[in-house]
Structure 1
Amino acid sequence: MVEWLRRRFRRWFGDDEAPDYDLPDPDLAAYDHGLGELRLDGELKGYLASVRVRMWFPARQWWPWFVIVWADGGKDRAFEDYGPKWYTVRELDAGYFEHYPDSGEAEVYEFSWLAPDEAGARWTELGLTEDDF
């Protein structure tokens, strides 16, 4: 856990800070009730669900929220992302998702979006609601 905090602190405030990220899609359309698969070595481990809301302060921009739904049906607590760094969005755009469970050891999943119609059907199967975010 301590190493995880150190990595996050360095990432947020340290010398190895990532540059600002230019969104390929400034509307973040894929994040509007989107759903993507999380895989390790090709094996489905869970899903990453997202919604987007409009942030008004400090900048008027999209504000995506995420929830992990594991293959066993368990759901993690919601988390957010926002610019100008867009740490989670930049990972997803690159086809991966780095997760830090309570153990503090990073898990890097392959990530790919489901088609919108498939995502909508899977949201229902997974029992996702707006209250999850």
Structure 2
Amino acid sequence: MTEPRDYEPLDPSLSSYHHAVWTLSVDGELRGHVACVVSEMMFPRRAPWLWFLVVWIDGRREFPFEDYGSGWYTLREIDAGFLDYHLPSVTAERRFLWRRIRVDQHGAPQKFELEKLSASVARRRWEELGLSDDQF
């Protein structure tokens, strides 16, 4: 069975997702956090645009990734209490013609359990992780 194309978030206003933080765990073991900001797209005008950033327990960060309606594919997972993502990325050196380049390679796929932190704990965690809106 395929998932429906459209999804209605648990919080249709999306305000509870702005500056939200969830723990990422596997079998109860904390692996990191995922944080979110809500912004707006330029087109379609003022459409909500969610950005997520994964910060691993050792402080390494993945590149931010986005989600938007009407499908809200990442948000529907988060609302269901999990995130299909990958283990930490590693930087590898490759040769391209005569040059050496560095590329990030995703770790193995992993289904993480999520737990949303309360607003007050999320604010503290936001600071502890050194997050700012311009990183998304």
**Shorter-chain TM-score tier:** 0.7 to 0.9
**Cα distance, 1:18 vs structure 2:** 4.4
Say which structure is richer in helix: 1
- Whether the 8 Å contact between 1:97 and 1:111 is mirrored in structure 2 is yes
Q: Secondary structure at the match of 2:63?
A: coil
Q: Could you state the TM-score of these two structures normalised by the residue count of structure 1?
A: 0.81
Distance 1:59 1:17, change over 3 A: farther
Runs of 4+ in 1 over 6 A off after TM superposition: none
- Describe the superposition over 1:22-68 as per-residue Cα deviations: whole angstroms up to 9, x where unpaired: 22211112211110100000000000011001224125432110100
Q: Let me know the Cα RMSD of the aligned residues.
A: 2.0
Query: Which structure 2 residue ranges, 5 or more long, are not aligned?
Result: 88-104
How many correspondences in the alignment? Answer: 119
**Cα distance, 1:129 vs structure 2:** 1.3
2:24 corresponds to which residue?
38
User: Aligned pair 1:26/2:12, yes or no?
Assistant: yes
Give the number of the structure whose alpha-carbon radius of gyration is greater.
2
- Whether the 8 Å contact between 1:51 and 1:65 is mirrored in structure 2 is yes
Cα distance in 1 for residues equivalent to 2:36 and 2:27: 23
Q: Which range moves more in the overlay, 55-64 or 118-127?
A: 55-64
Cα distance in 1 for residues equivalent to 2:78 and 2:53: 14
**Aligned equivalent of 1:96, options 61, 72, 82:** 82
2:67 corresponds to which residue?
81
**Cα distance, 1:103 vs structure 2:** 4.6
Query: Which structure 1 residue ranges, 5 or more long, are not aligned?
Result: 1-15
- Whether the 8 Å contact between 1:27 and 1:62 is mirrored in structure 2 is no
**Aligned equivalent of 2:129, options 121, 126, 132:** 126
2:93 corresponds to which residue?
none
Cα distance in 2 for residues equivalent to 1:123 and 1:96: 20
